[in-house]
Every structure is written in C-alpha cells, then in structure tokens.
Structure 1
Amino acid sequence: MSAQPANTAVQLDRRDRLPEIPLVRAIAIVGVLCVHSTSNATVEMKNSGIYWLYNFINIMAKFGTPTFIFLSSFVLFYNYMNRPIGAGMLKSFYRKRAVGILIPYLVFSILYSIATHFVYYPDQSLGDAMHSFIIKVLTGKAYTHLYFVFINVQFYILFPLTLWLFQKRSNLVKWAVPIGLTVQWGFVILNKYGMQIANKGSWAPSYFSYYMLGAFIGIQYPRIKQWLASRSGQASPIALMAGGALVGAWLATGLAHVWVWYESRLNHAQYNSLLFECLWNAYTITSAVVLLGLAVLIARNGSKPLVRALTRLGTLSFGIYLLHPMLLLAYRHFPLHTGNSLLVHLWYAGGFVLALGGAWLIVGISARWLPFASVFFGQLPKRKKKAAVDNSHVTSYGVPLSR
C-alpha cells in the first residue's frame, strides 16, 4: 500500500482526534500495574492453591510495555508522516521530548536512587552512590521500570531517519512489519548465539517489531478510519474471519505463554529461551492490534462514564507509570506476617489497588493543582477554562510518550 496523499492525510489529521488512543493507554497502564503488583507473588506464593492465578495475571498482562511502544510509534507517524522534515520541525520535536520526557526521567531517577540508597544501600559512600547514579541514568537502570523511557529515547533518535525513509520510499511502508521482525529477531539470535549483549531488554532492537507495527498502522490509519466509517454497522465475512483469527491467535499465544511460564516457575521445566521469546512476541504484538480494536469499540459503544474514566486514566498514564513503583516500594516495606492465606491474598490485591488508585489520585491532583507538575509527570491534560468548555465531544490529550 502506498502512503496516503499528503493533502488528504493532513486534512484527516486535523479533523480526527482519535479518542481511542487514550483508551488503549489506559488498558496498557493497567497491564503494567498488574505485572508489577504480582511480581513478588510469583516468587513467594508458589505453595498457594491459587498460584496459577498469580502466574496467569502476571504473564497475560505483559502486553503493557510493548503496547506503549506501539502507541508511541503509531501517534508519531500518524502526526508526522506528511510533514516536511526540516530544522524547525526537528528542533520542536526534540524540545518537546526533552521537556516532556527527559526532565521527568531525570527527576524520578534521582528520587528512586535516593529511595533505594536508604532502603538497600545505606552504607554506600557518597562517591560510589554518585558514580552508580550516573551510570544508571545513562543506561535507564535507576529503577526497574525506567528502562522504558531509555528505549523510547532510542526510538526518538531513530525517528527522523525512519520518517525520511518512509517519505522518500513510500513502498517501504508495506514492508515495515517484516523489517521490524527481522531486526528484532536478528538481535535476539545474535544475543543468544553470537555476542552476549548486556541488558538486552533495555535496547531498542528488542522492541523493533512493535515500533514498525506502530509506524505501519499509524501511516495507514487515515485510510483505515475512512474504511471503517464507510462500513459502519457492516462487516464482511472475510473481515469477520480475519478478526476472529487475530483474536484466536492472541488468546492461543497468550495461554501458551502462561503455560510455559507456569511450568518453568512451579515445576522447573526447561525450555529453550527462544520459545519464551517467540510466544511473548506473538502474544504482545497481536495484543497491540486487539487492544486498538477494543478501544475503537469502547469509544463508539461504551457508556460515557466508562469512556470518560478510561480517557482520564490514559491521559495520566505516563505519570502513573513513573510514580507507581515508589508506592509499591513503600507498601512492600511493610509486609503482612500472618498465617491467614485470605489476608495474604488481600494484601497482594491491596498493592495493585494502591498502585492504581494511589498513583492515579496523586498524578490527577497534581495535574489540577500543582504548579510545574509536568516537571514530575510530563505533559498533563490542561485545565479547561469555563468559557471554553464544549461537551459535544471528548478531547483526547496525549502524553509525551506518544506525541
């Protein structure tokens, strides 16, 4: 498929707000929180009768980070594909990322480094702590979840070149996903059978298929939206079969991924690492497309309170992503010591509730009342002036990871 003609695509970009995007973000951040709030349970609850449930939630929710990467690429290529690349565009692009991404990243890197120093390394000297901090900031390892920002920075560096190639060679667009899969799997195989790459998951090639999938769908999305609008309320047998096959593949690979992890964790089964990699890649790449389709359905047919709540969650998702591990770190510092299994299960559930509800509340209040909240949480939804309120549509605010 060739790229959309420039004048048509620009016109569509100005008209469409894509309310489905914050809905996908909302689902993705819930997935991230599920993984992080069950991570300890997958180690400590192996004697529990419902260990299978902890494992199921922990593995099935692993779509979060790949979906965020997909969305970042999707929105970038959707917005920039038909814009000329010049000094002004590049200056504006990188200034927004520096303000919206790097400053919050540095702030939270400092906060997490201070917190972990006092919790885990209280005897470390100031010189050693500063040296460790600098290395970790430069490699995205100041805390376990900050690698995601490090990966996005790598993609932002690649973005102008990728955009230029797709603009100059529009026929490359149809090869975007195969190119992404080739780069990603070449990197995986090189790491396994060639040179060992430290912290493989902190480097952009580990997620290249999601980046290219986002580019492909983002570039084609104006045409996809037009097609969906023209067939509103209708679905051809081929479209239904394709959708069913996609959902079937998503469920099958997800359940297979859950099973191999369950057997590996609980029964110490041995599998080739490439099996884990293949199932994870197949499950999460289909998840991105399935969740986008689900978000379109919710935006069209969901109740207004549900859409409003998910949209708000999606607009705050970057701040919630940055903050929630701090709440979990504090929560886990006071573990529950009891022989009552029900209370232990409730304690783990409480970690998820705190991570979601607590982080959502703090970031939401900060967005509304705290001056310079963007220093901590990136770009946040702006307060609407009363005179400018328009309830005829829901405005979709982006977050820096995807704009």
Structure 2
Amino acid sequence: MMPIGDVRETDRLPLLREKTATIASVGSAFPDDSYSQDEVGALLGLHHPAVRKLLAAPHIRKRHLYLPPADPRTGRVPDESPAALRAKFSDGALQIGSRAVDRALHGAGLSTADVDHLVCVTSTGFLVPGLSSLFARELGFGRRLVRADVVGMGCNAGLNGLNPLVQWVANHPGRVALLVCCEINSAMYVVDDTPRTGVVNSLFGDGAAAAVLTGPGVYAAGAGTGGPRPVVLDFESWCIPEQWAAMRFDFDDAAGKWSFYIDPAIPSVIGGNVREPVTRLLRRHGMGLADVRHWVLHTGGGAVIDAVRDGLGLDEHDVRHSRSVLRDYGNISSGSFLVSLERLLAEGSAAEGDRGVLVTMGPGAQIETALVEWSA
C-alpha cells in the first residue's frame, strides 16, 4: 500500500493551463450595520464568563449583522421567530448577494447577461426554489442559465462550489460562470447564555462574496485593477469522517430552531490534518510548500488560523488577509476565503507565474484545497 501523502510518479499531472478557468474578478458585500463585539454581547445578552472572554479576544473587532432593533426597555434585540429568521435570510441574501454579484461582474467588465452558469452556496438558510433561482429572477440572468445550489456543506463549501464550475468552464470555451457564497449567519442564531451558542454568536457574521470564472480570451480588465489573475489548476479534498460530529447543526426543541455546534478541539483537528491534502496537491504537480508564494485561508477563527499556519509552517505574512477579514467581519462561513482572495488581488502583490493555494475547512470534517497560478 502506498504511504499516505506519497504520490506515484504516474500520478503526477501536467499543469494544463490551456484548459482550465481563470478567477477573473471577486466582489464582496455586507449588511450596512456593523457592531463591535461589546455591542453584540449587550444586544444578545451574552453574560457567561466563557462567552465574554471570547467576545474580548482581539482577533475580531466588528461584525456586520442583520439584527432587529433593540427593545428600548431592555437594550436587547427581541427573540426572532423561525418565520422571521427565514425572511431575514431570503431578504438579506438577496440584498448583499446582489451587491456582491454586481461588484464581481463589474470588476470583470461583464454583466448578468454574460453569465452562463451560476452556483450559489449557503448553509444558513433553506429555500425552494433556491438562491440561484431567486437571483435569476431578480438580477436579469438569461433564460438559458445553468444553475445549481450547494446547501448545508458549511464553511468549506466555497471550494466545493468552485470545483465543478472550473470543470464546466474548462469544457465550455468562451463561456462565463459565477460562484456566489451568501451567508446570513445571524438567521441561525439561538440566543441564550450557554457556552455552546455563545461560541457561535461571538464568531459568525453576515456576508456574501462572488467570483467570476472565465476561460481564455473572455476576461477583460474592465473596472478592475488589471494585471495577472489566478488560474485554477487543480483541487484536493481531505475528509476526516471520524470527526463528523465536530461541526454540526442540531435542532433545539426548546428554541424551535437549528443550533450550530463547534467542538473546542476543531483547531487541533484542522491543524493536524491540513498538511496532508496540501502536500498531496503540490506533489502531484512536482511542487513543495516552498513553491507557494500566496496563501488564501478560510477565516475560521483566530485559533483555527493559528493551527493552519503552524500545520503548514507559514508565517504571519502568509495569513495577513485571513487575519484582516476575520478582524473586520468575523467568520462569514463559505465566502470567507473569497474575501481574503479579493484583498490579495487588490493588493497587487501577485506576479505572473506565482503559485497560490486556497484552503477551506468545515463540517464533515472536511478540508478543501485548490492550486492556482497567476497568469495574464
């Protein structure tokens, strides 16, 4: 049996740049209202000492959230019914999802009429028909739009949605695809003063991010910054099934809502496993960690970023954008890595031929990775 992490010489793949997809542009959007961690704690009535310690941690300074007005008598937001939370999800997703789509398409010099395939990713709401149908109805996509929804896969799901879109663009030259990750995490809040819900309520924010994928000859700089863009070369997944219960939704009978659970051991689970898929991904193309110049990591939390950094032997410069996105928005689940990528693209530090690795992680437990190379 081949040792884990080893790659046979026959398993090595050429970098097929001529038949793949370019991430032409990325756009993000957030609710208009933002709150400091102290404000969130007061509005939600979070007083448990362990939760207050989480809120005081320096890795998050503010989050953008859809919260109802506070009761003037108590200073707290009222408990929202399941029906109100569902409406919050659909209304909020349409609002910030539309903004993210517009910004991503504008950055690529394209419009919704140019999009042939749409994939929407979410784990914070359930609609039938799904978000892709809602966006198709409201945003002017064409009637021949191919669409799909990735629902319930959690924070890793952005790369799960990107993977089939890359294959589709590679197999449909001249066509345009759009990935939209839209999470209204505040629609999943259970408000009580237990450590379990306090972890969730101290970490997650609302946000949306969209990425435009094109083949050769389609991308025009448009209103974007120009310069080389990341070409997606390959993916590698790593499932940790023995940790299937470490991140999950349970139904809270007392609250009548879904409640998210995060095992405190998650940072060590991710940190102890992340090197495996990254190493396999790189070895398949004759590369090592030293060949990667840019890292785009999911902003799972301060301890998660630390664990991934240490597991891969990175330095603080490598995780700067993951840190800053977590600081400014909290964990916005599936779209977090796209916001970090958006900041890397805006920075303009990537040069022709640079290699990068994207890493997301979430329930399953699952780690997803992608290899990219910057090309004009």
Same fold by TM (over 0.5)? no
Greater fraction of residues in helix: 1
- Smaller-chain TM-score bracket: under 0.3
Task: State which structure, 1 or 2, has the greater radius of gyration over its C-alpha atoms.
Answer: 1
Q: TM-score, normalised by structure 1?
A: 0.25
